[in-house]
Amino acid sequence: MAAIYLVRHGQASFGAADYDQLSMRGEQQAQLLGQWLKDCHLPVEKVYLGQAKRHLQTAQHCLAMTDNLSANAWQSLTGFNEFDHVEILNRYRPDLAEHSTMAQFLAASPQPRKAFQALFSAAVDRWLSGEYDHDYQQTWSAFQQATWQALAQVRAEAANARHIWVFTSGGTITAIVQQLLALDPKQAFAINWNLVNTGVTKLLFSGERLSLSYLNSHGHLEQQHQAELITYR
């Protein structure tokens, strides 16, 4: 059987004007993943990624630690992009659409990250409900379909490759796992909130058969015995 490894990007720049870039910790997480790949002698035969900067930067920092493929062999697919979290937030709380307004809202909380998580969870619930599909450029069902199509393309192009790596986001991994395990959307997002930055989810496939081998593995971080390396946002 062949394996597809879905890698969630390293920690992005929460609270910055440009969220879509790795923080210094995110770079370190990706490098530790790369070192783990090298130490475990895990091949990297094909590489796919979403089109966000954080996907590319995670792949770059990770694979720079190995002796694997050059960037020329990587392929980006729109189906591995994250859902538009900005639109989802703005549709739920249009009064917080401006970056400065959101910053003020979070600064007023004693725990800004928790405040953002509560806000974002409520916004995602609205999106998942299907009751407001007309408000969104991409509905939850359309997002699911896009991720599944991208995964199907990876499988179709596998040829003789047995170790395929996909650098993507938590929402994409959630949508794939949700379909594999036949979870309802809210159950799936209960998993999503616990996906670790640079955590690895492994799928196995052979012909039409596709199954989940493991979810959210992050031993490359745990073995450092530094709690601050394990992040979720």
Give the model confidence (pLDDT) of 92-132 as tens digits: 999 998 888 988 988 999 998 889 889 999 999 999 999 99
Give the model confidence (pLDDT) of 21-62 as tens digits: 999 999 999 999 999 999 999 999 999 999 999 999 999 999
Phi-psi region of 138 (alpha: psi -120 to 50; beta: other; left: phi over 0): beta
Contact yes or no for 166/48 (Cβ under 8 A): yes
pLDDT at 144: 95
* Mean predicted lDDT score pLDDT of the chain: 93
- Mean pLDDT, residues 145-155: 97
Give the model confidence (pLDDT) of 170-183 as tens digits: 999 999 999 999 99
**Three-state secondary-structure class, residue 125:** helix
- pLDDT for residue 17 is more than 80: no
Instruction: Give start and end residues of each alpha helix (H) in the chain.
Output: 24-40, 53-63, 85-92, 99-107, 112-129, 140-156, 170-181, 185-192, 219-222
State the Cα–Cα distance between residues 92 and 122, nearest whole angstrom. Answer: 8
Domains in the chain: boundaries: 2-82+147-229, 84-137
Pairing assessment for the beta strands 200-206 and 209-217 based on DSSP bridges: antiparallel
pTM for this prediction: 0.92
* CATH dotted code for 2-82+147-229: 3.40.50.1240
State the Cα–Cα distance between residues 128 and 135, nearest whole angstrom. Answer: 12
